[in-house]
Amino acid sequence: MMSENKVLNALKKMPPVVFMLIALIILFSVLNPNYFAVNNFRNVFIQCAPLMVLGFAQTLVVLTGGTNLSMNAVVNIVTVLAVFMALKGVPLVLAMVIAVVAAVGIGIFTGVLIAKGHMPAFIATYGVQNVFNALALTITGGASIYYNSDLYHKVYSSSLLFIPAPVCVVIVMFIFTWILLNKSKLGMQIRALGGNREALKLAGVNVVRSEITVYAVAGFLGGIAGLLTLCRVESGQPIVANGWEFQSVAAAILGGSSFKEGKGGVTGTIFGVLLIQIAQNGLNVIGVQAIYQSVLVGSIVLAAIIIDAVVRMRRRD
Amino acid sequence: MGKTILTAKHITKLFPGMKALDDVDFDLQEGEVHILVGENGAGKSTLSKCILGAYQAEEGEIIYQGEPVKFSGTKDALARGIAAVYQENSLVPYLNAAQNIFLNREYRTAAGLLDSKRMEKEAKDLLVSLNCDYINIKKPVKMLSTAEQQMVEIAKALSFKPKIIVFDEPTSSLSDREVESLFEQIHRMKAEGIGIIYVSHRMQEFPLIGDRITVLRDGRKIRTVGINDCTNEELVNMMVGRDVSQVYVRSENPYKEEALRVDNLYDRSGRVQGVSMVVHKGEIVGLAGLVGAGRTETAETIFGIRPMASGEIYVYGKKVQPKNPKQAAKIGIGLVSEDRKTQGLALRQSIAENIEAVSWEKDFPGFFVSGRKVEERALKYKDNLRIMTTSVRKACQYLSGGNQQKVVLGKWLNYDPDILIFDEPTRGIDVGAKMEIYALMDKLATEGKAIIMISSELPEIIGMTDCMYVMHEGRISGKLDRSEYSQERIGQLMMIGQEGE
């Protein structure tokens, strides 16, 4: 009896998105018997690797009470910058490292605008998005740029203990952000920034610095997501990540993170990202035309957010 | 009484356009509870903030443990042993008790990660020493009750091993039982030699914990008196600077007509169980009970905020069923809610906009609104209600509690409903403003409004009402007419739901 109750309690604590995810998978497997092929799930995990990492970054920002709409631009510019430098003769690996450093720089710049300039995160990050998207387009002249190397393929197709390399990166980033959030001083500050900024000030914390740090970390994660994307598309793509900035916010919210109270965490975000990715992938598998796909994915995400809100309201009662 | 631990001399603190503190002296001894009283804006908070290092005084000096000090900020004062328990919750909702207590002082392991075990153990020890080991240390504090959160705050203050603790209105959101256990802790701290500065409006609490009282008015110190050297009346006189022998006013009621009848009212969540009551025109009817007895819930059900499960409501003989506040207002019911900051007011909006808030449609049936008319109307209420402000365009968040409450009242007076429900209308406001609100309620009743008054303060509900219903666990446990009032009878009905033998 006890253990049954425990199971029930554990189920009750799960974010509603988990159940919606299961429902979605069942739906797709009914519509296409081949859906359950192992390969397909492997693909889902590989495909969503960059969005996963962005989702973790976005979760940190959401917990501080903000949104980072420049995450797509960070990914875009990282792919472009790395290829651009490689074309100018910089060794590809070094170019990648520099691109990630640049991503951190963008994060710091964004953080300064928000924390020091007292700009609403939504506006500041939207501005930053536009600036760096435009820069990426300028560098490439509006097209994709290519630098030939087998490094991309090596990274993307190798595996460790049967786990594909991109998924390994996701796991490492998950552990990194989880520890950051739950086992570090910064984590406490992140929850306080969103939950009760005044309390943080009273505790003598330099809130400007901690907020900037959060955006810097988000920039770093954006850089990693950028490298994952680069290895997948094997080119500098100035618009490859457009749309991910909102998808990552949606994933964080679906995963149970809240703007207001510093509530939530990166674990839930995994399910949020999976929901979005599985919706996309499933529509592919059951053969929905591309033009209808985004309508359906959008509707699924919207429905999920509504169901989630309703379930949470009920639970509170 | 121990030796003097802190002396503040000739403190003057200037704010733009005003002297918040003017040449104030104050001292605190070891193991003493020194109460600071005064109307809102008298300078209590400013003085305690100067001591806490949040403000730096322009003139005067603070001598702490025998030497003059100048704190650069709260962190500085905290490090030297001056801590505070704030009125507004200063906890982070989704951190647990231990994480909150050690915010920015986290213990870390050799690897640089948080040492949760050690923090949880020390937090547990602190809570045990406060007799609060029932508090779950691993739960986010959001999940704890208000009183438990307050205890966590106190544990946090104590974790700094302070010599002085400033309490700013600590009981304003606690129930009687919780207040009692808070006072127990304060006595314990006293016994350990901690000096306590206690800012409060609640005069009935003073004799229970205080040693000395300092009265401030308009930024000046009026007097410091021993707790037994002065009556409540004298204290009030000192605070408001005028004679207030007549605190409660209640005039004869010339009307007989039945305004509101509630029959066997149930809400859907089981907080209101079969409430029946009658309010006549021109009558002030009390709704007494402990916090959580269902008084607010009853009001909210009548006002259409809470869904009604069964029962009937009649307004002037006509059966009504308000499904939301808008319908309730149309019917002629107004609710001055308990929590003015989140329910009564749009804090960031101006006084004028707040006063107009429920009346837009009534005052401007067409498409256009007139800002000038709204402002004129607001000015009228500013004068009638004596709202202290330089402009009605000012956002409500900058007003003191008493003035905010007056804006909420102005909002309903402007709408002019027949039935008004006042839920804790004087909570957290100073005695001068309280008296103005009492006088206003009396005037409204005399003009023919029917009024329900919910209050946790027995003296005020006894003083202001013509009859009262007492609630206990969602039910009406008794009805008393004014001639039957006694603290004892009301208390029994509140606590045990019936009158004793």
Residue B438 · residue B460 · CB < 8 Å: yes
Classify each residue of A111-135 as buried b or exposed e, where b means 16 or more C-beta atoms within 10 Å of its C-beta.
Answer: bbbbbeeeeebeebbbebbeebbeb
Strands (E), A153-251: 159-160, 163-164
Q: Please enumerate in sequence order all residues whose Cβ is within 8 A of that of A19, keeping only pairs 6 or more positions apart, or say none.
A: none
Q: How far is A181 from chain B (nearest CA, A)?
A: 11
- The model's pLDDT over B74-113, given as tens digits with 9 standing for 90+, comes to 888 888 899 988 766 788 989 999 999 998 888 888 888 8
Range B4-240 has CATH code 3.40.50.300: yes
The C-alpha of B153 sits at a distance from chain A's nearest C-alpha, in angstroms, of 11
- Residue A207 at interface with chain B, using a CB cutoff of 8 Å: no
Q: In sequence order, what are the residues at sequence separation of 6 or more whose Cβ sits closer than 8 angstroms to the Cβ of residue B6?
A: B26, B27, B28, B51, B62, B63, B64, B65, B164, B195
Nearest to B94 among A184, A191, A200 (CB): A191
Gap from B51 CA to chain A (nearest CA, Å): 15
For A103, residues 6+ apart whose C-beta sits below 8 A from its C-beta are A74, A77, A78, A219, A220, A222, A223, A226
Residue numbers in B near A192 (CB within 8 A): 92, 95, 103
To the nearest whole angstrom, how far is the Cα of A151 from the nearest Cα of chain B? Answer: 34
Q: Tell how strand B273-280 and strand B82-85 pair up.
A: unpaired
Q: What is the pLDDT of residues B107-129, one digit of tens each?
A: 888 888 899 999 999 999 988 88
Q: For the whole prediction, is pTM greater than 0.80?
A: no
- pLDDT tens by residue, B192-219: 899 999 988 778 888 888 999 999 888 8
Interchain pair A261, B73: CB under 8 A? no
- Best interface-test mutation with A: which of B92, B108, B166 has the largest number of A CBs within 10 A? B92
Which of B90, B106, B112 is the closest to A188 by Cβ?
A: B106
Is pLDDT above 70 for B46?
Answer: yes
Does B103 sit within 8 Å of A200, measured CB to CB?
yes
Residue in B closest to A191 by C-alpha: B94
Q: Which CATH architecture has domain B246-332+417-501?
A: 3-Layer(aba) Sandwich (3.40)
Token pair 């949880």 is found at B120
What is the spatial distance between Cα B321 and Cα B327, in angstroms, rounded to a whole number?
8
pLDDT tens digits for range B145-179: 877 888 888 888 888 889 999 998 887 767 777 78
Contact between A262 and B94 using a beta-carbon 8 Å cutoff: yes
Q: Is A179 near chain B, with CB under 8 Å?
A: yes
Q: What is residue B22's three-state secondary structure?
A: strand
Residues of A in contact with B152 (CB under 8 A): none
Q: What is the mean pLDDT of residues B40-68?
A: 87
- Residues of CATH 3.40.50.300 domain(s) within chain B? 4-240, 246-332+417-501
- pLDDT, residue B454, reads 93
| pLDDT tens digit sequence for A69-119 | 999 999 999 999 999 999 998 899 999 999 999 999 999 999 999 999 989
Q: CA-to-CA distance for B444 and B41, rounded, in angstroms? A: 27
Let me know: does B329 contact B417? Beta carbons within 8 Å: yes
- Nearest-CB residue to A205 (from B94, B104, B112): B104
- Test B93 with A196 for CB contact under 8 angstroms: yes
Asked if the Cβ–Cβ distance from A195 to B90 is below 8 Å, we say: no
Task: Check pLDDT > 90 for residue B262.
Answer: yes
Please answer whether residues B426 and B258 qualify as being in contact, where contact means their C-beta atoms are separated by less than 8 angstroms. Answer: no
Every domain of chain A and the residues it spans: 39-316
Instruction: Answer yes or no: do A263 and B94 touch at CB < 8 A.
Output: yes
Cβ pairs bridging A and B (under 8 Å): 73
Instruction: Take residue A95 and report the two structure tokens written for it.
Output: 């170019």
Look at A202 and B93 and tell me if their CB atoms are within 8 Å.
Answer: no
Tell me if B471 sits within 8 A of B293, measured CB to CB: yes
Interacting residues of B121 by C-beta distance below 8 A, sequence separation 6+? none
Percent of chain B residues past pLDDT 70, beyond the cut: 97
B237: left (phi over 0), alpha (psi -120 to 50) or beta: alpha
Per the CB < 8 Å rule, is B113 touching A200? no
B479 Cα to chain A: minimum distance (Å): 31
Angle at B277 between CA B272 and CA B279, to 5 degrees: 135
Nearest residue on chain B to A195, judged by CA atoms? B92
Return the pLDDT at B1.
53
Confidence of residue B234 (pLDDT cuts 50, 70, 90): confident
Mutation choice for A interface testing from B48, B78, B86, B103 by most A CBs within 10 A: B103
Which residues neighbour A125 within 8 Å (Cβ) at sequence distance 6 or greater? A66, A67, A68, A69, A70, A110, A114
Per-residue pLDDT for B243 more than 70? no
- B308 three-class SS: strand
| Minimal-distance CA residue of chain B relative to A183 | B114
Mutate to test the interface with B, among A176, A181, A185 (most CBs of B within 10 A): A185
Q: From the list A185, A195, A317, which residue is nearest B92 (CB)? A: A195
Q: Is B211 helix (H, G, I), strand (E, B) or coil?
A: coil
Helix (H, G, I), strand (E, B) or coil at B479: strand
Tell me the three state secondary structure of residue A131: helix
Q: Would you state the pLDDT for residue B245?
A: 54
Predicted confidence (pLDDT) at residue B385 exceeds the cutoff of 90: no
Confidence of residue B319 (pLDDT cuts 50, 70, 90): very high
CB–CB contact B95 A188 (8 Å):
yes
pLDDT of the residue at B501: 47
Question: Are B419 and B279 a contacting pair, CB within 8 Å?
Answer: yes
Residue-level pLDDT at A94: 94
Q: List Cα–Cα distances, B252 to B80, B273, B485, in angstroms.
A: 58, 32, 17
Asked whether the beta carbons of residue B113 and residue A204 sit closer than 8 angstroms, the reply is no
Instruction: Find, in chain A, the residue whose alpha carbon is nearest to that of B107.
Output: A185
Q: Provide the shortest C-alpha distance from residue A182 to chain B (in Å).
A: 8
Query: Per residue in B295-306, pLDDT tens?
Result: 999 999 999 988
Q: How many residues does chain B have?
A: 501
How distant, in Å, are the alpha carbons of A244, B8, B39, B366, B385 from that of B439?
Answer: 60, 38, 17, 36, 10
DSSP state of A280: H
User: Which residues of chain A have a CB within 8 Å of the CB of B73?
Assistant: 204
On whether the CB atoms of residues B272 and B303 are closer than 8 A, the answer is no
The pLDDT, as a whole number, for residue B287 is 93
| Alpha-carbon gap: A261 to the closest alpha carbon of chain B (Å) | 6
**Does A317 sit within 8 Å of B104, measured CB to CB?**
no
**Dist. CA A190–CA A65, nearest whole Å:** 9
The Cα–Cα gap between B497 and B491 comes to 9
The pLDDT, as a whole number, for residue B154 is 87
∠ CA A142-A148-A153, nearest 5°, is 110
**pLDDT exceeds 80 at position B5:** yes
Substitution target from A60, A176, A186, A188 for chain B, most B beta carbons within 10 A: A188
Find residue B315's DSSP bridge partners.
B260, B318
Q: How far apart are CA B141 and CA B99, in angstroms?
A: 10
Report, as ranges of residue numbers, the positions in chain A whose pLDDT lies below 70: 1-4, 11-12, 38-39, 315-317
Residues paired with residue B467 on neighbouring β-strands, in sequence order: B285, B481
Q: Best interface-test mutation with B: which of A63, A183, A205, A312 has the largest number of B CBs within 10 A?
A: A183
Average pLDDT (B426-431) is 78
Tokens of B127: 């809570």
- What integer pLDDT is reported at residue B371 of this predicted model? 85
Chain B residues touching chain A at CB-CB below 8 Å: 73-75, 78, 86, 88-95, 99-100, 103-106, 108, 112-114, 116, 140, 142, 269
Percent of chain B with pLDDT over 90: 25
Of the candidates B81, B5, B33, the residue with the CA atom closest to the CA atom of residue B187: B33
Question: For residues B97 and B130, what is the distance between their CA atoms, to the nearest angstrom?
Answer: 14
Contact check, Cβ <8 Å, B103/A263 = no
Chain A residues near residue B140 by CB distance under 8 angstroms: 263
- In degrees and rounded to multiples of 5, residue A118 shows phi and psi of 55, 40
* Class in CATH terms, A39-316: mainly alpha
Select from A191, A197, A209, A267 the residue whose CB has the most chain B CBs within 10 Å, as the one to mutate to test that interface: A191
Go through B230-264 and write b for each residue having 16 or more CB atoms within 10 A of its CB, e for each that does not: beeeebbbbbbeeeeeebbebeeeebeebbbbbee
Contact B94 A185 (CB under 8 A): no
* Packing angle, helices A71-87 and A207-233, rounded to 10: 60
